[in-house]
Amino acid sequence: MEQTEERKMKLKDIPYFRIWANMFNFSGKQKRKDFFIDIIINIIVVIAFAFLGANIINKFNNTLLELSIMGIYFFMGEFLSLSLIARRINDAGIPWTYCFISLAPVFGWSIIIMCFFKSRSADDIQVSINKRRVFIAMGITTPALFFTFILAFVIVLLVFPPVDNTQEAKTEFMQYFDGKNDVALHYYTYISFQEYKIDLEKNLSKREELTNGQIIYNDHIYFTTAKEVGVFNLKYIFNIYKMDLLGENIELVFSKDGYETCPWAYDFEKDFYIEHYLKNVFYEESRRIDKYNIVTGIYENIDGGKDSDIDDYIKKEVESDYKIEIKTNELSNEVLPNDHGYFIITDSKNDKEIIIDDNYLKTTIYYESMYKFNYSPMQYNISNNHILLSYIIGASDGFNCTYVVFEYSFDTNDFKFKLLAFPIDRYDNEVMYVGDE
């Protein structure tokens, strides 16, 4: 009996295992050091379990099994976290019932502040209160004060959100719009034109999701999706749709079923390159790369195996007579003579070069508007042999950034406003010319 009891005691002292051994113990106590050791180990275990779940769904194609296992584990994990927090704040002299604060939305994580409090007995707290040493009575330490400051900062942001001046920017730049929606900015599931925005996801059916590929060709938008079919024997259907440039008249142009893993599509010019696996993503020998051409409608396998690489097909250099460089203060170790940076555009065919800098912008009708919001060169795109220059300006709603896109032409030496758009972030955005050649 004594040996058995000794083993139980040792199990309760082992990091992480003591969480399970004390699963229903809400009245005990746990030191700060032990608490944070258990938290860190638990995070590592959760991440490992997530990878295990991903392996299950890819190997056995069983979403229901994965969701069941993960659901049970995370439900138990939430219960474990509550009892762990309860013991930690008990040790800090705070009633264990405060652990339920962690279930509150938005501010639930603030309970971690209490977990930084020092170990205190009820007598110690009462003595400190009698001496009017309030902070000591609460067991507040420097880390606790630090997290309290962070929490206060978050509350200030929620009460006083950033100023939204996007509408002001829309009004300012709309005066330059020529009425032609011939330039678009693609980001995530959206394609933005000057006068409207298309959400590619709005017409999708249940269990169907976008798979990256989008092509604009011949006044139509082509995009790809994958749809889950089945539960215990999960398969995928790969679909290609097209719609007009207003986001209307959607129709299915191609469909193929029987994929073992989710087929992910990449677009390059008039082709979709589809990457998928015959077994699972951990078995590289089963990788397959297929191609679909939107003009011919031909779907074919072009590569496969461990040594195949999708980048060989989607990162090919597109021949162009134009070369463009961006110079900004952020990318340079020295302060540039132009405060906002500039574009250097070279026409190798005709041996011409133009620098679009502050001095150049001052000669255009757009300078006052650009100066009003502040600006910086962000990216360039050569689309259908059109030079598209994108600036980021200081207009935002606190969540999105703001792109101003101009087109420059060597033939006419024109610099024209084309688009004001509000992507979610500065990266993975593609600006395209979709007008007539």
Q: Mind listing the pLDDT tens digit of every residue in the chain (437 residues)?
A: 445 544 445 556 677 777 777 777 777 887 877 777 877 887 787 777 766 665 655 555 455 555 666 666 667 767 777 787 888 777 776 777 766 766 666 555 556 666 656 665 555 555 444 444 444 444 444 455 555 556 666 666 565 666 778 899 999 999 999 999 999 999 888 999 999 999 988 878 777 888 778 899 889 999 999 998 887 778 999 999 999 999 999 999 999 999 999 999 999 889 999 999 998 777 889 999 999 999 999 999 999 998 999 989 987 766 788 999 998 765 444 444 457 889 999 999 889 999 999 999 999 999 999 999 989 999 999 998 899 999 999 888 777 889 999 999 998 889 999 999 998 877 778 999 998 76
- Cβ contact 212:202 at 8 Å: no
Q: In whole angstroms, what is the distance from residue 171 CA to residue 396 CA? A: 14
Return phi, psi of residue 241, to 5°: -115, 160
Q: Which of 139, 43, 49, 60 is nearest to 93 (CA)?
A: 139
The two structure tokens encoding residue 362 = 């001052």
> 5 - beta bridge partners?
none
In Å, how far are 45, 230, 278, 392 from 58, measured between CA atoms? 20, 14, 10, 41
Continuous segment of H or E residues that includes residue 275: strand 271-277
pTM for the predicted model, two decimal places: 0.65
